[in-house]
Amino acid sequence: MSYSERFVEEAPTREAVDALPGPVVLEFGAGWCGHCQAAQPLVQAAFAGYPQVRHLRIEDGPGRRLGRSFGVKLWPTLVFLRDGAEVARLVRPTAVAAIDAALARIA
Protein backbone atom coordinates (compact mmCIF):
# COMPACT_ATOMS: atom_id res chain seq x y z
CA MET A 1 0.00 0.00 0.00
CA SER A 2 1.43 3.34 -1.00
CA TYR A 3 -0.06 6.76 -1.79
CA SER A 4 -3.66 7.19 -0.66
CA GLU A 5 -5.92 9.66 -2.45
CA ARG A 6 -8.66 9.94 0.16
CA PHE A 7 -8.77 11.13 3.73
CA VAL A 8 -9.89 8.52 6.25
CA GLU A 9 -12.55 9.88 8.58
CA GLU A 10 -12.20 7.06 11.10
CA ALA A 11 -8.64 7.48 12.33
CA PRO A 12 -6.81 4.58 13.93
CA THR A 13 -5.96 4.88 17.61
CA ARG A 14 -2.58 6.20 18.67
CA GLU A 15 -1.78 2.76 20.04
CA ALA A 16 -2.50 1.19 16.64
CA VAL A 17 -0.31 3.76 14.87
CA ASP A 18 2.55 3.23 17.35
CA ALA A 19 2.38 -0.51 16.58
CA LEU A 20 2.54 -0.15 12.78
CA PRO A 21 5.60 -1.94 11.41
CA GLY A 22 7.93 -0.49 8.79
CA PRO A 23 7.74 2.88 7.04
CA VAL A 24 4.49 4.83 7.37
CA VAL A 25 3.52 8.43 6.60
CA LEU A 26 0.57 10.00 8.37
CA GLU A 27 -0.83 12.99 6.52
CA PHE A 28 -3.15 15.14 8.61
CA GLY A 29 -5.49 17.56 6.84
CA ALA A 30 -8.93 17.91 5.29
CA GLY A 31 -10.30 17.51 1.79
CA TRP A 32 -11.57 21.09 1.68
CA CYS A 33 -8.25 22.61 2.85
CA GLY A 34 -6.59 24.70 0.14
CA HIS A 35 -3.09 24.06 1.52
CA CYS A 36 -3.79 20.30 1.49
CA GLN A 37 -5.05 20.44 -2.09
CA ALA A 38 -2.00 22.42 -3.20
CA ALA A 39 0.38 19.92 -1.61
CA GLN A 40 -1.22 16.80 -3.11
CA PRO A 41 0.63 16.81 -6.46
CA LEU A 42 3.91 17.12 -4.54
CA VAL A 43 3.05 14.31 -2.14
CA GLN A 44 1.87 12.07 -4.95
CA ALA A 45 5.01 12.73 -7.01
CA ALA A 46 7.28 11.95 -4.05
CA PHE A 47 5.44 8.73 -3.24
CA ALA A 48 5.88 7.47 -6.81
CA GLY A 49 9.42 6.46 -5.89
CA TYR A 50 8.45 4.76 -2.62
CA PRO A 51 5.72 2.18 -3.27
CA GLN A 52 6.75 0.27 -0.11
CA VAL A 53 5.85 3.18 2.19
CA ARG A 54 2.36 3.11 3.64
CA HIS A 55 0.49 6.45 3.38
CA LEU A 56 -2.46 7.22 5.64
CA ARG A 57 -4.38 10.44 5.01
CA ILE A 58 -6.17 11.26 8.24
CA GLU A 59 -8.98 13.81 8.32
CA ASP A 60 -8.13 16.17 11.14
CA GLY A 61 -10.03 18.83 13.04
CA PRO A 62 -11.38 19.80 16.45
CA GLY A 63 -11.89 16.82 18.70
CA ARG A 64 -9.80 14.49 16.53
CA ARG A 65 -7.54 12.73 19.02
CA LEU A 66 -4.88 11.31 16.73
CA GLY A 67 -3.90 14.71 15.34
CA ARG A 68 -3.82 16.19 18.84
CA SER A 69 -1.60 13.34 20.06
CA PHE A 70 0.93 14.31 17.37
CA GLY A 71 0.63 18.04 18.15
CA VAL A 72 -0.75 18.90 14.69
CA LYS A 73 -1.58 22.59 14.38
CA LEU A 74 -1.39 23.33 10.62
CA TRP A 75 -2.46 21.34 7.57
CA PRO A 76 -1.16 19.44 5.86
CA THR A 77 1.23 17.94 8.37
CA LEU A 78 3.14 14.85 7.27
CA VAL A 79 4.55 12.66 10.04
CA PHE A 80 7.13 10.12 8.86
CA LEU A 81 7.29 7.00 11.04
CA ARG A 82 9.54 3.96 11.11
CA ASP A 83 8.21 1.09 13.25
CA GLY A 84 5.92 3.51 15.10
CA ALA A 85 8.62 6.07 15.95
CA GLU A 86 8.61 9.56 14.42
CA VAL A 87 11.66 10.14 12.23
CA ALA A 88 10.69 13.34 10.41
CA ARG A 89 7.87 15.86 10.06
CA LEU A 90 6.90 18.33 7.36
CA VAL A 91 4.30 21.07 7.75
CA ARG A 92 2.82 22.55 4.57
CA PRO A 93 5.49 21.15 2.25
CA THR A 94 6.18 23.19 -0.88
CA ALA A 95 8.74 21.00 -2.69
CA VAL A 96 8.89 17.39 -3.81
CA ALA A 97 12.55 17.27 -2.75
CA ALA A 98 11.69 17.86 0.92
CA ILE A 99 9.11 15.08 0.91
CA ASP A 100 11.47 12.79 -0.99
CA ALA A 101 14.26 13.40 1.54
CA ALA A 102 11.97 12.56 4.46
CA LEU A 103 10.70 9.43 2.68
CA ALA A 104 14.31 8.33 2.07
CA ARG A 105 14.94 8.52 5.83
CA ILE A 106 12.23 5.95 6.60
CA ALA A 107 12.32 3.72 3.50
Which domain, by its residues, includes 62? 14-106
Query: Is pLDDT of 27 > 60?
Result: yes
Say what the pTM is: 0.95
Please list the residues that pair with 28 across neighbouring strands: 58, 77
Per-residue pLDDT, averaged over 77-99, amounts to: 98
Per-residue pLDDT, averaged over 82-91, amounts to: 98
Across the chain, mean pLDDT equals: 95
pLDDT at 9 (0 to 100): 83
Per-residue pLDDT, averaged over 40-68, amounts to: 95
Say if 48 falls within a structural domain: yes
Say if 96 falls within a structural domain: yes
Query: Is pLDDT of 72 > 70?
Result: yes
Say if 79 falls within a structural domain: yes
Minimal CA–CA distance to 8: which of 22, 25, 29?
29
Say if 8 falls within a structural domain: no
Query: Is pLDDT of 87 > 90?
Result: yes
Say if 90 falls within a structural domain: yes
Say if 2 falls within a structural domain: no
Query: Is pLDDT of 89 > 80?
Result: yes
C-beta separation of 53 from 107 below 8 A: yes
86 residue type, one letter:
E
pLDDT at 1 (0 to 100): 55
Query: Is pLDDT of 6 > 60?
Result: yes
Q: Count the domains in the chain.
A: 1
**Which domain CATH number covers 25?**
3.40.30.10
Say if 1 falls within a structural domain: no
